Amino acid sequence: MAEADIPRKVRRFLREHITSLYQLEILLLLYEKRDAVWTVADVNRVLRTNESHIEKQLEEFHHHGLVDYVEQPEKKISVSHCVG
């Protein structure tokens, strides 16, 4: 796929918010299941990586308005309307 095949808005989003493939994997997972509410452990069960790294990425996404925190018995996240 050539860069020209990727819409300009998508390229800009990637440049502004994504610095690694790892971040993209997390965000794509959350977006794919955007009706779900996730814990760090939930994300880790799917991606099988380090929970502290996931938490760091989610904090960064939250800082940029890409995910929202939902306070339930434990801290959970959901994909923000900004991503959709």
Higher confidence at residue 4 or residue 79?
4
Is residue 18 domain-resident?
Answer: yes
CA torsion 33→37→76→59, rounded to 10°? Answer: 30
Total of domains in the chain: 1
* Token pair 């993209």: residue: 24
CATH number, domain containing residue 46: 1.10.10.10
User: Which residues span the domain enclosing 16?
Assistant: 3-79
Is residue 67 domain-resident?
Answer: yes
Q: What is the pLDDT of residue 82?
A: 45
Query: Is the pLDDT assigned to residue 10 strictly greater than 70?
Result: yes
Is residue 84 domain-resident?
Answer: no
Is residue 54 domain-resident?
Answer: yes
Q: What is the pLDDT of residues 27-51, one digit of tens each?
A: 899 988 888 888 889 999 999 988 9
Contact call for residues 75 and 37 (beta carbons, < 8 A): no
Is residue 39 domain-resident?
Answer: yes
| Whole-structure pTM value | 0.74
Lowest mean pLDDT among 48-52, 56-60, 68-72, 78-82: 78-82
